[in-house]
Structure formats: structure tokens, C-alpha cells
Copies of this chain bind each other. A is one copy, B any other.
Amino acid sequence: MERTCAIDTANKIGQEVTISGWVDGRRDHGKLIFLDIRDMTGIVQAVVNPRVSAGAHKAAEELRNEFVVEAKGRVNRRPENLINPKMATGTVEIEITDLEILARAEPLPFELDTNLNIDTYLDNQPLTLRSRKNQAIFRLQAAIAQSFRDYLKGMKFTEFQAPKIVAQAAEGGAEVFRIKYFDHNAYLAQSPQLYKQIMVGVFERVFTVTSVYRAEPHSTTRHLNEYVSLDMEMGFIKDHTDVMKVLNGWMAYLIEQLQKNNAADVKLLEIKLPAVPKEIPSLKLKDAQEILEKECGAKNAIGQSDLDPEHERLICKYAQEKLNSEFIFITHYPTKKRPFYTYPDEQDPETTKSFDLLFRGVEITTGGQRINDYNQLLANIDKWGYKRENFSFYLEAFKYGMPPEGGCATGLERLTQKLVGVDNVKLATLFPRDMNRIDLSLGKLKL
């Protein structure tokens, strides 16, 4: 008999079905054994009655959580007083006639869906990811990536695949991972930046969902050494504000899609989805710093080249309270603190046509207009003290005609974290890598 998914049993009252899944709960009421059976669509309750099937009852006596079973039975409507309105299948119950154990599970070391110490959670991800909460978080993460692709595709962007092995640290920094590449050294890409700019010459508008690497020796609630970057880049822009508009549009589309397609996960996680303003408010860094000191009680903001984490938190609070927005753009970061390809503001060349998008206290996106003039790029490479020959591949895109262009990069895990409201980015990351951990603690592994 063909398999019926848990969620579909609610529409099959009176029918015989076969369901498969994991035991998500088992309650032994003397004679009757009640099972919650979980599959990719949800959970359904089943009851094993020895008078209906002695064999099934015997098998059910052995079950523990996470055993994998296939069960045949009849879908019954529950009596009115036993209907569970919180459950999508709360109106039905399967009366099991056959029960087969497909795989056994050892006794769980802890209950799923309990609050675990983060190291215990991470050490046991193959098990802990199965909790309803974690399933919901990573289903939402998949929805974020999909919305990014769908929205941009609707705007004629073309997807491309960015390489992760690069010949050198593109932007000069020391915080790169080194690879032994045959007889050479190579590095893990810090970003697909140079490749996406090259691809503007090919397709004009491009995006990629790609892993990026930072060898930062920190293990905090904000840091990941490997993360997923949602990168886009577009040609024929007026300036950085055209990129901000596309990003703003994607955020609105994302929230709309989550409301439409992920309502159950949003409810389960008790997420308050943000309203996305038609035009997200925007402040120049300098103005934000003044507000921070004058209105938010911050110190050491004015004159700095960036916002520190506390400033990010405070300016988001300000945006929410005074500008009625959980999102805020900060623009015009100083030229000397941005990469060599960042477009300087003609009105104030010490600052750039760059922006960060902040959401719920942290930067989730960074972007801006890029220098598209070949000679200006050459001059900046000299000025930054880099070697032109190290950028010769990249520079070819500009030597042969590059329109005014810009783009941005959004951290998938950070955006997930802030949307779902967990307090450590590692809780929004499948298999996070940090300086002490690759799946398991590096100290414990014998490598």
C-alpha cells in the first residue's frame, strides 16, 4: 500500500493507510499504547490496541523515541473531547493493525526540545537537529535562501557558481585559511566579490549562494569561520541606492513569503516577523554617530570608522523607537576602512557610496557601489599598496568595459538568527565551524 504522509491522514478519515516515521512520543496506558509518529510533513497520533493486533502491540512495547516504524491502520475521527486544535492532525488518530520496526534507537541521552548547554547541543547535532524547534529554524533558513534566489531571478538576475579556492587573499587581510594546493599555496575565499564583479560583465545582474571563510581567531556568539553568503551584484546603477532598493525589495518579499509559506514554523518559534518599510530609513555613518552620542547615551561613537556591536544595538533600538523600523541602513563609511574597489562619494571623497543593513541589533548585509573605471581601480590598487599583477585576472573585466555597478552580501546564518530570535549565531548554523570546533571539539579529536 502506498505511503500516506502524516499531514494527509487528516483528510483520510475511515480509510486504511500506511504511515512511516520516527516515534516522537510514546504513552503506555496499560492496554493501549499511544504513539506520536513524525515524518517530513508533521506528526500524527496512533493507538495500538492489543485486541486489534496482538503483534503490533508486542512491537509497540519495545518502542522508544526515535525508533523508526512503518505502520498500517485505519484513520479514525477522534471523539470531540479528544480533538487537539493545536495539532494539524489533531482531529484524527490511526488505529494500528500492523507495526514494523524499520530501525531501532538507543535510549536518548536527553529529551529533544529541552534547553541544552550549547556544547552539548552542538556535540549532538545529528540528534538535536531533529527537535521541532530546530527543524523549524532550518526550514526557515531554506526559505530565506530560496526567497533570495526567487526574488532576484524575477528581476533578471542570473545565478552563478563562485569558486572557493583562490590564489591569494583578494582583499589583503591576513585572516584567510591557507590550503596546500599541489606544489603551491592557495586560500579559501573570503567572499565571491571579485568573481561576482567579473560576472557583471557577462550577465549584468548576478547572484550566488556561496560559502565564505574567515580565519578570525575568535569564538563568540557572533563569529563563524565558515558561513553562507547571499551575494548579488548588478550593473547600470545610478549609485549605491539602487542596490539598497533591491535589497529592501527582497526583505519585503522574504517576509511576505514566510508569512505565506512558513506560518506553522513562525508560530512554533513564536517569531514576530518584522514589518519592512517601503523605504528602509537610512543614516550616514557620521549622522548615526551623532545620534548615538546625543540621543542614545553611547560613548566613543563620533569619529570612529565603524559602529561597534554596542553601537549597532543602540542605533537599531533608536530606529525602532524613533523611525518605526526594525531595519536601518548606515551609509558612507570612510574610504580608508573599505576595500580598494569601493566607490568614493564625489561630494565627500573621504567617504564611500557604501552601506550596511542593520536588523535587530546587528549588521546583516554589507554593500555599495564599486569603482568601475579601469584607471581609477589601478590607481587604488597602487594606493592600497597591492600588486597590480595579483589582480590582473579581475582587472581584465574592467579593462574591457564595465558599467557603473554595485552589490551586496547578506550573511544567511545571521539573518536566520535575527529572524528566529536565538542568541548565538551557531544556533542558526548547520554544523558551525569555529576555532575550537569542527563538528566536535578539536581538542577531543585525534587528528
Residue A401 at the B interface, CB < 8 A?
A: yes
A126, B211: Cβ atoms under 8 Å? no
Residue A62 at the B interface, CB < 8 A?
A: no
Quick one: copies of this chain in the complex?
2
Could you say which of A44-52, A82-90, A176-184, A281-289 contacts chain B? A176-184
Q: Mark A143-170, 1 if CB is under 8 A from B, else 0.
A: 0011001000100101111111111100
Whether A159 touches B179, Cβ cut-off 8 Å, given contacts A164-B211, A403-B103, A440-B167, is: no
B163, A401: Cβ atoms under 8 Å? no
Whether A201 touches B236, Cβ cut-off 8 Å, given contacts A435-B182, A438-B166, is: no
Residues in B neighbouring A447, C-beta threshold 8 A: 167-168, 184-186
Residues in B neighbouring A374, C-beta threshold 8 A: 103-104, 106
Residues in B neighbouring A198, C-beta threshold 8 A: 125-126, 129
Q: Which of A408-447 contact B (CB under 8 A)?
A: 412, 430-431, 433, 435, 438-440, 442, 445-447
A40, B373: Cβ atoms under 8 Å? no
B179, A188: Cβ atoms under 8 Å? yes
Cα A142 to Cα B442 in complex, Å, equals 37
A204, B40: Cβ atoms under 8 Å? yes
Whether A167 touches B438, Cβ cut-off 8 Å, given contacts A108-B400, A401-B105, is: yes
Residue A191 at the B interface, CB < 8 A?
A: no
Could you say which of A133-141, A336-344, A352-360 contacts chain B? A133-141
Residue A22 at the B interface, CB < 8 A?
A: yes
Residue A384 at the B interface, CB < 8 A?
A: no
